[in-house]
Structure 1
Amino acid sequence: MKTLVIYKSKTGFTKKYAEWISEELSADIFPASKVSANMLSAYDCVIYGGGLYVVGINGVKLVTQNIDKLKGKKVIVFATGMSPSREGGSREVISKNFTLEQQEIIHFYYLRGGFDYRKLNPFDKMLMTLLRLSIQWKKVRNKKLNSDEIGILEIFYKPTDYTKRAKIDKLVAYATS
């Protein structure tokens, strides 16, 4: 089976997973910016990875807008984020990013990535700074913080990498089944 791994990575965590998946499957690998819609039809299995930003998968439109070219193929999408996976979290990501028809075709995985403020572009730094300030303001007003908010404050200026190669095992098993 000919497999293509595509990724869009802002801080390197998605790229790391994409490289591991490509190695395990002996697959071709490209950043999303180098992939055209016509390339998709040359593969039996297409795997796309993007970072998760407010439940949206970065760059996933490459897959969703070309779903007609992917019918009859094995299609896998994975998203990376800094939060641990939680029950119901994947369901929310799936429903926000894929139509019901696309959900029939696309197999989704969440892989915990990490956070490195230094690697963010200026716009993302501004957004994350606003988020940090809003969490700190909530804390000052003695409002209860959820686990994600506590985690953001703990790692904001401390680069944190939660990637683990073993996390790709289920995705690889599905791709080779």
Structure 2
Amino acid sequence: MKTIVIYKSKTGFTKKYAEWISEELSADIFDVSKVRIDIIKNYDTVIYGGSLYASGITGVKFIKQNIYKLKEKNIIVFATGASPSKNEAINEVKDKNFTNDEQKFIRFFYLRGGFNYSKLNSFDKILMTLLKWKLKNKKDLTSDEKGMLAAYNNPVDFTRKKNLDELIIYVKSLESISK
């Protein structure tokens, strides 16, 4: 079974996971800006990864625009974010990014990434500064919000290879089914 890993990474956390997945599965890997749908037709399993941006998965538009061309393939999407994994938040991300029909074709995973303010582009820095001001003016911060404020001055990296275990096991189970 041939597998391709496609990703879009703004600050490097998604790219790190994509590279680990590619190594673990001996899969080809492409930045989404360098892949076309005709390349993907040669693969059985398509894994796409993007970071979360206001609950949206960056670059996932590529998968969504081509989902019906890919529906005979195994489609896996993973998103990375700085927040801890919580089922309610994960379901919100799935529902915001994919219709019920699209979810029938896609297996979704959330992987905890990190936050590095210094690696953001100018526009994202402005948006994150606005969020920082909003959080600073809030009276009762959650532990996640306190952690986010601390990360502005001290980058955090929660990427771990073990975070991929469920995704890797899933893909390998597809390989054993196809044999």
| Gap regions ≥5 residues in structure 1 | none
Q: Distance in 1 between matches of 2:91 and 2:82?
A: 17
Counterpart in 2 of 1:164?
160
Q: Is contact 1:3-1:43 (8 Å) kept? A: yes
Return the TM-score normalized by structure 2.
0.94
- How far residue 147 of structure 1 moved from its aligned partner, in angstroms, is 2.7
Return the TM-score normalized by structure 1.
0.95
- Deviation track 1:89-122 (CA, whole Å, cap 9, x = no partner) reads 1110110001111100100000000011110000
Counterpart in 1 of 2:133?
133
- How far residue 87 of structure 1 moved from its aligned partner, in angstroms, is 2.4
> Do residues 107 (structure 1) and 107 (structure 2) align?
yes
- How far residue 148 of structure 1 moved from its aligned partner, in angstroms, is 2.4
Q: Distance in 2 between matches of 1:157 and 1:39?
A: 41
Q: Secondary structure at the match of 2:104?
A: helix
Query: Within 5 A, what are the aligned runs for 1:71-90?
Result: 71-90=71-90
- How far residue 42 of structure 1 moved from its aligned partner, in angstroms, is 1.3
Query: Within 5 A, what are the aligned runs for 1:55-94?
Result: 55-94=55-94
Q: Secondary structure at the match of 1:10?
A: coil
One-letter amino acid of the structure 2 residue matched with residue 76 of structure 1: I
Q: Percent identity?
A: 60
One-letter amino acid of the structure 2 residue matched with residue 156 of structure 1: Y
> Do residues 173 (structure 1) and 169 (structure 2) align?
yes
Q: Is contact 1:14-1:80 (8 Å) kept? A: yes
Aligned counterpart for 2:145 among listed residues 119, 140, 149: 149
